[in-house]
Amino acid sequence: MASVINPFRDIFFADLRDPSTDLGGLISSTSITQTVFYSIVAVVINCDKTAFDIQNDNGEQVARDDDQVLPGRYLIVSDEPAIQSKRPFFTRALSTSASTRLESFRNQVRARDGRCTITKVASVLGPSMDIWTAFEVAHLVPIAYTDEWRRRGFSDRITVPPPPPRERDTINSVQNGLLMQSHIHQAFDAYHFSILPSSGYKLICFQPDIFGIAGTYLDQQLLQDHRRPPDELLEWHFEQAVLCNARGAGEPNLEFDFPPGSDMVGEILAGPKAAERMEFELFSRLDELETEQD
């Protein structure tokens, strides 16, 4: 059963003018430094992170440094009232099939990375025997959201388009993908963690860090490759992770474990955000059909 993300929160923030109304909250983590905290709050209130200050419940200003944010209540100090951002949150599903991915996209990401870009665990059998069991290719921006891709102008950031004849299908560029271990990919798609370019590509955990990745960094080998993802795509995923986990009460956790024979559609329709999830599935399937017909 799906549940709302707030029971584990121990960090809360509100506007100084209305301290009793929480604008959002977080789970404390070694990855949530005070500098990162400013970046998160900036997304929640849709404000430049230099345009406000944060103070703790003792009235002391929170410095923009690498000290870990302690559990507690915090107040936003700004010239204008701080309100929750209306930015859309894009629900995504955990990928259960590679059929919706272009083969060239998958192969190019595998060839570039060769290992999990998050845990740095190498795919020993992958490069030598083309056996990629327990490794999956993740899209940063899901292929279901081509309209968002176009609206944000992400095509302009792509310098390595897919090979002909699909060179205009930039959402399937190698630069929109990362190779991950399968369990890490699931956590990434569920926005349990993300990558913050402005903090040295640090891994920021929004849920309990059961994989031991909080505060570590994206693969430096990848960052030195000209085929690496543009910062704008990593920032998009980070923004979505913030909107999912830190804005308001947070988005509901969604069920993704559908054993063979289970009523997946029925469970989705009976669960939270049913319309958004069905829309995601529909657009993903349409992408699959378009790919097969090309």
User: Rounded mean pLDDT of 10-20?
Assistant: 97
Delineate the domains of the chain, giving CATH numbers in brackets: 11-78 (3.10.20.90), 103-240+251-288 (no CATH)
Q: What confidence score (pLDDT) does residue 265 get?
A: 54
Query: Residue 260: which pLDDT band, with cuts at 50, 70 and 90?
Result: low
- pLDDT over 70 at 284, yes or no: no
Residues 6+ apart with CB under 8 A from 143: 100, 101, 171, 172, 283, 284, 287
268 versus 91: the higher-pLDDT residue is 91
Q: Is 241 helix (H, G, I), strand (E, B) or coil?
A: helix
What pLDDT score does 7 carry?
A: 84
* E strand residue ranges, 44-176: 52-56, 72-78, 135-139
Q: What is the mean pLDDT of residues 30-44?
A: 98
Q: Which tokens hold the place of 113?
A: 């990375």
Q: What is the pLDDT of residue 98?
A: 44
Bridge partners of residue 196, in order along the sequence? 202
Give the pLDDT confidence of 146-188 residue by residue, as tens digits. 999 999 999 999 999 999 888 899 999 999 999 999 999 999 9
Give pLDDT tens digits for 115-146. Answer: 999 999 999 999 999 999 999 999 999 998 99
pLDDT tens by residue, 46-96: 999 999 999 999 999 999 999 999 999 999 999 999 999 999 999 876 554
Q: Which pTM was predicted?
A: 0.86
